[in-house]
Amino acid sequence: MRLHEYQAKDVFADAGIPTPGSEVASTVDDVVSIAERLGYPVAVKAQVHVGGRGKAGGIKLAEDSDEAREAAEDILGMDLKGYTVEKVLVEEAVDFTNELYVGVTMDRGEGKPVAMVSTKGGVNIEEVAEEDPDAIAREHIDPAFGMHPYQARKVVYDAGVDKAVARDVASILTTLYDLWASKDAADAEINPLMVTSDDEVVAADAVLNIDEDALFRHPDLAEMEDEAAGDELEAKANEYGFDYVRLDGNVGIIGNGAGLVMTTLDLVDHYGGKPANFLDIGGGAKAERVANALDMVFSDENVDSVVFNIFGGITRGDEVAKGINEALEQFDEIPKRVVVRLAGTNAAEGREILNDELVTVEETLEGAVQRAVEYAEEDQ
Amino acid sequence: MSILVDEDTRVVVQGITGGEGKFHTEQMLEYGTNVVAGTSPGKGGQEVAGVPVYDTVDEAVEAEDADASVVFVPPAFAADAIFEALDTSLDLVVAITEGIPTQDMAKVNKRLQEVDTRLQGPNCPGIITPGESKLGILPGNIFESGNVGLVSRSGTLTYQVVDTLTSRGIGQTTAIGIGGDPIIGTDFIDALEAFENDPDTDAVVMCGEIGGEDEEEAAAYIAENMDTPVAGFIAGRTAPPGKRMGHAGAIVSGSGTGTAESKINALNDAGVPVGDTPAEVVDHIEDLL
Q: What is the ipTM of this complex?
A: 0.90
pLDDT at B149: 97
Mean pLDDT to the nearest integer, A34-57? 90
Same domain, B33 and B147: no
**Set A6, A101, A244, A375: catalytic member:** A101
In a domain, A11, yes or no: no
The amino acid that residue B212 corresponds to is: G
Residues near B273 by beta carbon (within 8 Å), at least 6 away in sequence: B231, B232, B284, B287, B288
List B residues 188-247 in contact with A (Cβ-Cβ < 8 A). 207, 209-210, 212-214, 233, 235-240, 243-247
Using CB atoms, pick whichever of B24, B99, B243 lies closest to residue A245. B243
Output B24 or B257, whichever has higher pLDDT.
Answer: B24
Same domain, A74 and A200: no
Same domain, A217 and A252: no
Using CB atoms, pick whichever of A144, A213, A256 lies closest to residue B110. A144
Q: Is A51's pLDDT higher than 80?
A: no
The amino acid that residue B95 corresponds to is: A
Same domain, B171 and B249: yes
Mean pLDDT to the nearest integer, A53-70? 93
Helix/strand/coil percentages in chain B, nearest 5: 35, 20, 45
Cβ contacts from A onto B, under 8 A: 177
Give the integer Cα–Cα distance in Å for A326 and A305.
19
The amino acid that residue A302 corresponds to is: N
Nearest residue in chain B measured CA to CA from A342: B160
- The 10s digit of each residue's pLDDT in B185-236 is 999 999 999 999 999 999 999 999 999 899 999 999 999 999 999 999 999 9
Give me the domain span that covers residue B247.
139-288
Give the integer Cα–Cα distance in Å for A329 and A350.
16
Same domain, A203 and A276: no
In a domain, A12, yes or no: no
Same domain, B103 and B183: no
Q: Is A228's pLDDT higher than 60?
A: no
Q: Is A182's pLDDT higher than 50?
A: yes
- The 10s digit of each residue's pLDDT in B112-164 is 999 999 999 999 999 999 999 999 999 999 999 999 999 999 989 999 999 99
Chain B residues with CB under 8 Å of A365 CB are 160, 277-279
Buried b vs exposed e over A213-252: b needs ≥16 C-beta within 10 Å?
bbbeebeebeebbeeeeeeebbeebeebebbbbbbebbbb
State whether B154 and A265 contact (CB < 8 Å).
no
Length of chain B counted residue by residue: 289
pLDDT at B1: 55
Sign of CA dihedral B180, B183, B188, B191: negative
Q: How many helices (H) and strands (E) does chain A have?
A: 14, 18
- The 10s digit of each residue's pLDDT in B129-139 is 999 999 999 99
Same domain, A75 and A160: no
Domain-terminating residue out of A92, A121, A138: A92
How close A33 gets to chain B, by Cα (Å)?
A: 37
Same domain, A238 and A217: no
Chain B residues with CB under 8 Å of A261 CB are 245-246
Phi, psi of A84 (to 5 degrees): -85, 130
How close B135 gets to chain A, by Cα (Å)?
A: 14
pLDDT at A27: 96
Chain A residues with CB under 8 Å of B253 CB are 126
The amino acid that residue A75 corresponds to is: I
Give me the domain span that covers residue A86.
21-92
Q: Is the pTM of this model over 0.95?
A: no
pLDDT at A230: 58
> Does residue B285 sit at the A interface (CB-CB below 8 Å)?
no
Chain B residues with CB under 8 Å of A318 CB are none
Confidence band, pLDDT 50/70/90 cuts, at residue B254: low
pLDDT at A227: 54
Residue to test with chain A: of B23, B102, B214, B261, most A Cβ within 10 A: B102
- The 10s digit of each residue's pLDDT in A273-328 is 999 999 998 766 677 888 889 889 998 999 999 999 998 776 778 888 888 888 88
> pLDDT exceeding 90 applies to what percent of chain B?
89
How high does pLDDT run on average in chain A?
91
Q: Is A101 a catalytic residue?
A: yes
- Alpha-carbon separation of residue A334 from A242, A290, A305, A374 (angstroms): 22, 14, 11, 18
Residues near A10 by beta carbon (within 8 Å), at least 6 away in sequence: none
In a domain, A88, yes or no: yes
- The 10s digit of each residue's pLDDT in A107-129 is 988 999 999 999 999 888 878 88
Secondary structure letter of residue A366 according to DSSP: H
**Set A99, A189, A319, A362: catalytic member:** A189
> pLDDT exceeding 70 applies to what percent of chain B?
98
How high does pLDDT run on average in chain B?
94
Q: Is A211's pLDDT higher than 90?
A: yes
The CATH number of the domain holding residue A181 is 3.30.470.20
Using CB atoms, pick whichever of B76, B155, B254 lies closest to residue A126. B254
State whether B102 and A275 contact (CB < 8 Å).
no
Residues near A290 by beta carbon (within 8 Å), at least 6 away in sequence: A281, A323, A324, A326, A327
